[in-house]
Amino acid sequence: MKTISSNLIQIFNILSDLNYHDGDTIGNKLGITRSAVWKAIKKLEEYGIEISSVKNKGYKLKEPLLLLNKERIEKEINDPKMDIEVFENIDSTSTYLKKNFNTNKRKICIAEIQTNGRGRMGRSWHSPFGQNIYLSYAYPIKKDISELSGLSLVLGIAEIAALKEIGIEEEIKLKWPNDVMYKGQKLMGNLVEIQSESYGETMAIIGVGINVNMIIGSEIITQDWTSLRKITGKYIDRNKLCVALIHNLNFTLEKFTQYGLREFISKWYELDSLYNLPIKLNNGEFEGIAKGINEQGNLLLELKNGEIKAFSSGEASICK
Ligand code: BTN
């Protein structure tokens, strides 16, 4: 686990124009030796960043890459009651917050790379350096654990609102229980973990993974996926998206704490990608037509005999 080093930030500032810069010039600007520059460049290559290195010309980024900027995010969020930590690398932002939350303070952890990013159902979450958003939020909620069944569903609503806020207008939809999809491909995933405290205090550790600028995936991604860059054809500034995401999560979580899932049901219907489609649950254990969700956030399936049955968990897929 490491916070972003100032050398790394400055090297990126120099290389961000996508031109060649030689080791001596970079070293002079940073007040470090040419071999320290070389070491920093090697570190970036270890992180999987493609750098072209040409004798007598120097180093050049092959792809644009804007780093996360803690000061900028903090300034735009402007909330003294919230802690924001930004790491250069970490095993998992959610694992970190599970060990380091503060019972009466909201805390956000964001990282450039996760070496052990976790998804739902024990899957891993592909988390390459500098390309996507890996953000976890430790959010204290004054609600009993039994009232939190709908929490993971409202996150997708907040995330789609954040995309709208930064001008992304493509038709992005929800897939029960907590995926955000574009044309059947996964764009974001949410992992909610609840730490129950005594006296009715509950801490929700909300983990959000958004595929932002990733173009090439990995064999560890087992689902069809896409990214904002693939959808829009544009490089997205992750700092701007982090700010919009935190704003919309705050707004949504406050509303959820006050009114519960009930307030979000009509929005869910508007964004539901499964509605009225034939669905298989848990690899065909159940089949039926999706009819939205109930007030507990359970998926409603109309079975062949006409009965509407509610399911509290499972993996849904559209029948081909
Ligand atoms: C899913 O399987 O759809 C949920 C993916 C959640 C990934 C995010 S990335 C930030 C946070 N840290 C983790 O290790 N996982 C979540």
Q: Note the pLDDT tens digit of each residue in 25-43.
A: 999 998 999 898 998 899 8
Average pLDDT over residues 35-59: 90
Instruction: Determine if ligand 1 sits within 6 Å of the CB of residue 190.
Output: yes
- Please give the model's pTM, rounded to 2 decimal places: 0.93
Give pLDDT, residue 198: 64
User: Distance from the CA of 147 to the center of ligand 1, in angstroms?
Assistant: 22
Could you give the percent of the chain with pLDDT greater than 70? 99
Average pLDDT over residues 275-292: 92
Give pLDDT, residue 3: 79
Average pLDDT over residues 301-314: 93
User: Distance from the CA of 209 to the center of ligand 1, in angstroms?
Assistant: 5
Q: Which residues contact 218 (CB under 8 A, 6 or more apart)?
A: 126, 128
Could you give the percent of the chain with pLDDT greater than 90? 72
Average pLDDT over residues 233-261: 96
Question: Which one-letter DSSP state was computed for residue 124?
Answer: B
Ligand 1 mutation target, pool 68, 98, 125, most atoms within 8 A of CB:
125
Give pLDDT, residue 112: 96
Instruction: Determine if ligand 1 sits within 6 Å of the CB of residue 94.
Output: yes
Instruction: Determine if ligand 1 sits within 6 Å of the CB of residue 136.
Output: yes
SS3 at position 117? coil
pLDDT tens for each residue of 100-138: 988 778 999 999 999 999 999 899 999 999 999 999 999
Helices (H), ranges, the chain: 6-15, 23-30, 34-46, 70-77, 93-100, 151-165, 228-232, 238-259, 265-271
Give pLDDT, residue 200: 65
Question: Which ligand 1 atom sits nearest the alpha carbon of residue 116?
Answer: 14
Give pLDDT, residue 199: 65
Residue with the bigger pLDDT between 220 and 138: it is 138
Q: Is there a cis peptide before residue 177, judged by omega within 30 degrees of 0?
A: yes
Spatial distance between the Cα atoms of 151 and 155, rounded to a whole number of angstroms: 7
Give pLDDT, residue 171: 94
Instruction: Determine if ligand 1 sits within 6 Å of the CB of residue 87.
Output: no
Judge whether residue 300 has pLDDT over 80.
yes
- Picking from 108, 69, 86, the residue whose alpha carbon sits closest to that of residue 247 is 108
Instruction: Determine if ligand 1 sits within 6 Å of the CB of residue 23.
Output: no
Q: Which residues contact 151 (CB under 8 A, 6 or more apart)?
A: 141, 192, 204, 206, 256
Give one DSSP letter per residue of 126-146, joined into a string. ---TTTSEEEEEEEEE-S-GG
Spatial distance between the Cα atoms of 99 and 104, rounded to a whole number of angstroms: 15
Spatial distance between the Cα atoms of 176 and 12, rounded to a whole number of angstroms: 39
Helices (H), ranges, 199-319: 228-232, 238-259, 265-271
Instruction: Determine if ligand 1 sits within 6 Å of the CB of residue 211.
Output: no
Give pLDDT, residue 149: 86
Residue 84: band (very low, low, confident or very high) from pLDDT cuts 50, 70, 90: very high
Judge whether residue 190 has pLDDT over 80.
yes
Count of beta carbons in the 10 Å neighbourhood of residue 131 = 23
Question: Which one-letter DSSP state was computed for residue 274?
Answer: S
Give pLDDT, residue 227: 97
User: Distance from the CA of 90 to the center of ligand 1, in angstroms?
Assistant: 13
User: Distance from the CA of 88 to the center of ligand 1, in angstroms?
Assistant: 17
Residue with the bigger pLDDT between 17 and 144: it is 17
Average pLDDT over residues 266-282: 95
User: Distance from the CA of 66 to the center of ligand 1, in angstroms?
Assistant: 22
Give pLDDT, residue 26: 93
